[in-house]
Amino acid sequence: MKNEQIDVPIITVDGPSGVGKGTLSQALAQHFGWTLLDSGAIYRVLALSILNKGLENAPVKQLVETAKALNVEFKSHESSIEVYLDGVNVTKAVRQESTGIAASKIATIAEVRDALLQRQRNFAIKPGLVADGRDMGTVVFPNASVKLFIDASTQARADRRIYQLKQAGAPCNPEEVLQDIIERDKRDRNRAVAPLIAAVDALIIDTTHLTITEVYETALKFIMNKFSLGK
């Protein structure tokens, strides 16, 4: 993967699932009036496309071709982001546990990550970008202006996911949710390509016992100090 210098201010927000990085990223993007990249959604859309086409066991070459031809679009609203695949709203489908698990597996394939790398970098447009993911600050935007790494205990993340599922009226087995998170973490942190780690120059925020407001204020203070101004 080739590192590229991109002349646009970028804030990367990395971390595992269930830590609140999506909520934080959207709040920061709205604060600055910048573009938002949900890189996890791109992998989820690809996973959904692969599942819909029955390509789970297809050769890597075919998965790469599917990634390159992926027709994905994000439509941002004041409090949410809608995801479209081939013009169809798949926002709910990409948030399903089965899609997330499939996306985590696909993300371990180096050739697939390469195929999606430039697509993610294309989101870096003026006036700026907030990039939410797992390797935004280490691989996709290594020269980002500000890097954040959001984390939380495994149990806290499982509890949050269980709450989300119950709120949505979706079936939920607490033990399975916890096990899925443990297995996903293992894949993400131990994959050979772009493992989930904090960039050396990232601020690490543990959200286990913090409110959304506290996380946002901590992140914003760090960002303002990095930029040395209050824009």
20 is an annotated ligand-binding site residue = yes
Q: Does domain 39-125 have CATH number 1.10.3720.10?
A: no
C-alpha dihedral, 33 to 34 to 35 to 36, nearest 10°: -90
Distance of CA 133 to the CA centre of its chain: 3
In the sheet with 88-89, reading across from the earlier edge strand, the strands are: 72-76, 81-85, 88-89
Report DSSP state, residue 21: H
Helices (H), the chain: 21-32, 39-52, 60-68, 91-94, 97-106, 110-121, 154-167, 174-190, 212-227
Cβ neighbours for 161, distance < 8 A, ≥ 6 positions apart: 17, 18, 177, 181
pTM: 0.83
169 is an annotated ligand-binding site residue = no
87 is an annotated ligand-binding site residue = no
> Phi and psi for 81 in degrees, rounded to 5?
-130, 130
19 is an annotated ligand-binding site residue = yes
Closest CA to 49 of 112, 1, 110: 112
- Contact assessment for residue 215 and residue 207, using Cβ atoms and an 8 Å cutoff: yes
* 141 HSE (CA, 13 A, CB side): 33
The gap between the terminal CA atoms of the chain, to the nearest Å, is 33
pLDDT-based confidence at 32, cuts 50/70/90? very high
Cβ neighbours for 163, distance < 8 A, ≥ 6 positions apart: none
Q: Which fold has domain 8-34+127-218?
A: Rossmann fold (3.40.50)
Average pLDDT across the chain, whole number: 89
Most confident by average pLDDT, 2-6, 11-15, 81-85 = 11-15
At 65-121, the pLDDT tens digits run 999 999 888 776 666 778 899 999 999 899 887 898 899 889 889 999 899 998 899
Closest CA to 26 of 66, 70, 75, 80: 80
* 118 HSE (CA, 13 A, CB side): 6
Tokens 């599942």 sit at which residue?
51
| Number of CB atoms found within 10 A of residue 118's CB | 13
Q: What residues form DSSP beta bridges with 83? A: 74
18 is an annotated ligand-binding site residue = yes
Q: Position 103: which residue type? A: A
What is residue 188's predicted lDDT score, i.e. its pLDDT? Answer: 85
pLDDT-based confidence at 231, cuts 50/70/90? very low
Enumerate the CATH 3.40.50.300 domain ranges in the chain, comma separated: 8-34+127-218, 39-125
108 is an annotated ligand-binding site residue = no
